[in-house]
Chain A
Amino acid sequence: MKTLTSKITFWGTVAAVIVAAGLYSTFLRFTQGLGGVTNLNDAFPWGLWIGFDILCGVGLAAGGFTICAVTHIFNIEKFKPLTRPAILTAFLGYVMVIFALMYDLGRPWAIWHAIIMWNTHSVMFEVAWCVMLYTSVLFLEFSPILLERFRMKKTLRVIRMALIPIMILGILLSTLHQSSLGSLYLIVPNKMHPLWWSMFLPVFFFLSAVSVGFAMVIFESYLSAKAFNHGLKLPLLSQIAGVMSVVLIVNLAAKFIDMAYSGDLPYLLVKGPETYLFYLEMLIGTLIPVAILSVKKYRSDNKWLYVAAVMTVGGFVLNRMNVSVTSLEASSSVAYFPGIYEISITLMLVVLGMLAFRFIVQHFPVFEAHKELPEIIVDAKAFHETELSMQHK
């Protein structure tokens, strides 16, 4: 009894409550239908589940493809220790997205239709195939962790031989998917608020996914450091943060150039909730993180790095929620706010994702793949160069 109570933690209790509430909400969802558990209606059919679970979920899983691109396309090997946790986060993220989709679909049992009933003119068709293919690819990218654990050396050798093409395919599919989610909203130019609607929404979705991918790698590193007593690879994370800030600036510049060309800048002066939320999104998602990360001292400081990563993630979430909810509320003439069951299911999916991550890390070699031994350089020239650089410091 004593050992049982000693194992009960605050977050464990919170997780148990959230999962219990989520399971009850799940029961209601599949017995009473969407109308019984959500505040959605025909005027406002996409709410929290699409906005957060899908749009944010997919974006927050972008760490997988961004780190893969850095390590396998640009061949920057020093970031390899971050690859496995990022791929695991991405894989679980996509699994959770598929789970969430089952809640939001009116007829979830018909989800397989996209496989054989092709509608090549639909953006949703591309989204469906990207989700299926990229989740499969993520599983293959993740499979070495399983194969190492179960010592299936032959299969592992085969997978490792195919890993580079698999990674490249993953990056390609993820790029398509991140941008195609933006394409979904291209069909509602008259319904979306001009501050968010743009012909370049797919580009903005992709750029913001890249930046939040890096932010998620940093954020997840902190969570892992805390949960599993792992060290922070601060020098690596600091460099990633530098790249992240560049992408954030590019995204911001692209957004404002687009607004200038399309004549939407005057909307920034219109007083209203949309404008305020747009400013907030820019402030916490881009301006403050960029300001922090532009100073090397802060970029190398674990506290400020964490603040910048959290703000970038927060800003990204705000952007996706603004695109999917805020920008459409005025035209729908409906004030949507998610019901308690919607919220509890969303929280449950997040918690399940975190529990799955924890379980896998505890039982599989996620953090042990790249035992980074020091490179012992026995070389007079290299030594003297190092010595000179130390003297200059």
Chain B
Amino acid sequence: MVALFVVLTFTFFIILDILITKAQKQTHPALSSVYNTPVFDRHSLVVPSEVFLSKGHTWAKVMRDGFVKVGIDGFIAKALGHLFVTHMVPIGTHVKQGDVIMLAWVGRNNLQFRSPVDGVVESVNPELTGTGLKNGYSKQWGVMIRPTNLMDNIRGLKYGQEMTEWMRLEFNRLKEFLGSHTPQVAMAGVTMQDGGTVMEGAVSMINEEGVKDFQNEFLTM
């Protein structure tokens, strides 16, 4: 009887805790769907060694024929989750470093991605438009550019060790950003004090104003 009494008391408090949480219109971690979202873990930000990254989170890969492949980096792909590229710059357009070359939708918001190099648009990747961005690299390149000022442009891009350090800083910035822009307390928590993981697609869950801020803070050059 004593054993049963102790276990029932324990169960009573557990159930009461869940009921009180519900009554307070809060979400118990055990019942929150937010926690089932995949997360950035320590090993999920793998970057191919041959790419240069711009501050606007677009990458550039110099091909053997001298052309430059450009795409959206994996960090953004993870942060935004379901990102759909809707428009790409027309072939033949002269672009300068920092010019908008791709438009994408995340949720109901439009985002702009900028060119990491100066040059002329030679081709675009038709497979990218309308499909969700997964890792952003390799087959998911966006625009092929014939560079006109490559050596100067590359000086302003991140590469190797510098890129690693910068990515870490960006990760921390993203956590802080989500902490100040997330309406759902539980979701903000995922990124904050315990220093752990950032939810994949967390940015797509913030409001319209937040996405605009994200554009200004992370996608400008």
Interface residues of A, Cβ cutoff 8 Å to B: 10-11, 47-48, 51-52, 56, 78, 81, 222, 225-226, 228-235, 273, 277, 280, 284, 300-303, 305-307, 310, 313-314, 317-318, 321-322, 325-326, 335-338, 367-368, 370-380, 382-384, 386-387, 390
A52-B6, A303-B31 given; A390·B135 CB < 8 A:
yes
Within the complex, the shortest CB–CB distance from B120 to chain A, in Å, comes to 28
- Specify the chain B residue showing the minimal Cβ separation from A219: B14
Selected from B6, B42, B160, B190, the residue in CB contact (under 8 A) with A372 is: B42
- CB contacts under 8 Å to A, within B170-186, are 171-172, 185-186
Q: Mark B152-176, 1 if CB is under 8 A from A, else 0.
A: 0000000010011001100110000
**Interface residue B100 (Cβ < 8 Å from any Cβ of A):** no
**Interface residue B111 (Cβ < 8 Å from any Cβ of A):** no
Bound Cα distance A385, B14 (Å)? 44
Interface residues of B, Cβ cutoff 8 Å to A: 1-7, 10-11, 14, 17, 20-21, 24, 26, 28-32, 35-36, 39-50, 134-135, 137-138, 160, 163-164, 167-168, 171-172, 185-186, 188-197, 199
A81-B194, A231-B197, A306-B29 given; A47·B2 CB < 8 A:
yes
Selected from A51, A317, A337, A376, the residue in CB contact (under 8 A) with B1 is: A337
A370-B195, A387-B138 given; A51·B2 CB < 8 A:
yes
Bound Cα distance A314, B14 (Å)? 11
List the 3 closest pairs (A to B, CB-CB), nearest first: A231-B190, A321-B3, A306-B30
- Specify the chain B residue showing the minimal Cβ separation from A233: B196
Other than A229-B189, A372-B196, A376-B45, give 19 A-B pairs with Cβ distance below 8 A.
A226-B26, A229-B185, A231-B189, A231-B190, A231-B196, A232-B190, A234-B35, A235-B197, A277-B4, A305-B30, A325-B3, A338-B2, A367-B195, A378-B163, A378-B164, A380-B48, A380-B49, A382-B46, A390-B135
User: Chain A interface mostly helix, strand, loop or mixed?
Assistant: helix
What number of residue pairs across chains A and B have CB atoms under 8 A from each other? 173
With a CB–CB cut-off of 8 A, which chain A residues contact B167? 374, 376
Selected from B28, B43, B168, B189, the residue in CB contact (under 8 A) with A377 is: B43
Residue contact B196 to A383, C-beta cutoff 8 Å: no
Q: What are 5 inter-chain pairs, A to B, with CB distance below 8 A?
A: A229-B192, A302-B35, A321-B6, A326-B3, A375-B45
Within the complex, the shortest CB–CB distance from B128 to chain A, in Å, comes to 16
Within the complex, the shortest CB–CB distance from B166 to chain A, in Å, comes to 9
